[in-house]
Structure 1
Amino acid sequence: MQISILVWILLIMVSIKDITENKIPNKLLLMILFINTLLLISNGIFLVEHIIGFGAMLACSLLLYVLKIMSPGDVKLLSVIGYVVGWGSLLEASFWILMAAGILGVFTALMNISRLGVTNPLLVCMDPSLLLKSNLDTSHSIYGNKLVMPFAPAVTLGLAFSSILQ
């Protein structure tokens, strides 16, 4: 799985947008699809494996969206990642994306606890619901007052782990 530097730059831009605005721009995702398709065709690689990767990630992430675990933008992003890595590398890339999401999720929860003003970590042990509460105004969110984190940085970081450790 070789990923173009242009795709990496676009993934970093998607991550920054997700962190700052909680949005994953369609234009950037379409650019990733277009660039990756051009690279695949120019290298004589059949697109079938990559289309299957797209479909598999779309199906899995749509299920997570229906269960309200994931946002619609994350579904689009993971589908594009499925296309970029293709079916053959999908399992490994998914593993590293999950690992990165877990690591960033722990840091997000710890940062949120400190923002809530919890000074004694034992309070979190006595009231685990503090891990899920958010001190941010989430009245516009479909997730209510639950703690949410931008997922695009975890996807980009996990993909980097997968590429480096391959």
Structure 2
Amino acid sequence: MEYVIWFILFIVAVSDAKEHRIPNALLLLTLIACIARMIVEPDLTPSWSAAATGFAVMFAGSLMLHLLRVMAPGDVKLLAVIGFWLGWGQLFDATLWIAATSIMVGLTYALVRVAGKEHKMREQLSRYKLLFAYGRAGTKALEENSTEKLRMPFAPIVVIGVALHHYF
């Protein structure tokens, strides 16, 4: 059953990377596979209360990030399903791996975006200086001049982070 969950998560990650969209049907299918695993292999899965707590904590935390416009709605639902799958006991470690993966991939995206373009690097540094000094309102002028919008899919990062959590 574990392989089914990983297969669905792989499809979710590819879908988000390709289309910047996480299908609700795949998240529901993942949740059903997690429930089936809990029924079939109760000794290898978190308890129902730990799974529900993990779901609630991840949903609430990621919903706060969504309300701050840091995260998309599909990512909120994905993290809630991941919280259910892992349960409360593994959330902290998994979250650290997801955060580390997010930093590594984010730096890679930033470096690829500015590679070979010195003026882009200066623009990015100016944007971050204004962001730290004035918050989102400080970057409005720079956003109007920039036609490119950097979009980094989060589902692949989550899947890689959870895989690293399981491996290490």
Q: Bin the TM-score by the shorter chain.
A: 0.7 to 0.9
Q: Which residue of 1 aligns with 2:10?
A: 12
Once residues 135 and 5 of structure 1 are traced to their aligned partners in structure 2, the CA distance between those partners, rounded to angstroms, is 41
Within 5 A, what are the aligned runs for 1:64-103?
64-103=65-104
Structure 1 residues 23 and 127: alpha-carbon distance in aligned structure 2, compared to 1, 3 A threshold: closer
Per the normalisation by structure 2, the TM-score is 0.81
Deviates more, 1:54-63 or 1:123-132: 123-132
Q: Which residue of 1 aligns with 2:23?
A: 25
1:128 aligns with 2:129: no
Q: Which residue of 2 aligns with 1:51?
A: 52
Once residues 62 and 42 of structure 1 are traced to their aligned partners in structure 2, the CA distance between those partners, rounded to angstroms, is 31
Once residues 96 and 43 of structure 1 are traced to their aligned partners in structure 2, the CA distance between those partners, rounded to angstroms, is 25
1:110 is aligned with what amino acid? L
1:88 match: secondary structure: helix
- For the pair shown, the structure with the greater C-alpha radius of gyration is 2
Q: How far is the alpha carbon of 1:126 from its aligned partner?
A: 7.3
Q: Which runs of 5+ in 1 are unaligned?
A: 137-144
Q: How far is the alpha carbon of 1:42 from its aligned partner?
A: 1.6
Once residues 14 and 101 of structure 1 are traced to their aligned partners in structure 2, the CA distance between those partners, rounded to angstroms, is 17
Q: Which runs of 5+ in 2 are unaligned?
A: 129-138
Q: Is the contact between residue 11 and residue 156 of structure 1 (CA under 8 Å) also seen in structure 2?
A: yes
Taking only the aligned residue pairs, the percentage that are identical comes to 36
Which structure features the higher share of helix residues? 2
Q: How far is the alpha carbon of 1:125 from its aligned partner?
A: 5.2
Deviates more, 1:104-113 or 1:153-162: 104-113
Deviates more, 1:22-31 or 1:37-46: 37-46
Once residues 7 and 127 of structure 1 are traced to their aligned partners in structure 2, the CA distance between those partners, rounded to angstroms, is 38
RMSD: 2.2
Q: Which residue of 1 aligns with 2:131?
A: none
Q: How far is the alpha carbon of 1:148 from its aligned partner?
A: 2.4
1:154 aligns with 2:157: yes
Structure 1 residues 47 and 108: alpha-carbon distance in aligned structure 2, compared to 1, 3 A threshold: same
Per-residue Cα deviation, 1:105-146 (whole angstroms, up to 9, x for no partner): 1111112223xx61x38x62575146797754xxxxxxxx4x
1:79 match: secondary structure: helix
Once residues 85 and 123 of structure 2 are traced to their aligned partners in structure 1, the CA distance between those partners, rounded to angstroms, is 44
Structure 1 residues 129 and 20: alpha-carbon distance in aligned structure 2, compared to 1, 3 A threshold: farther
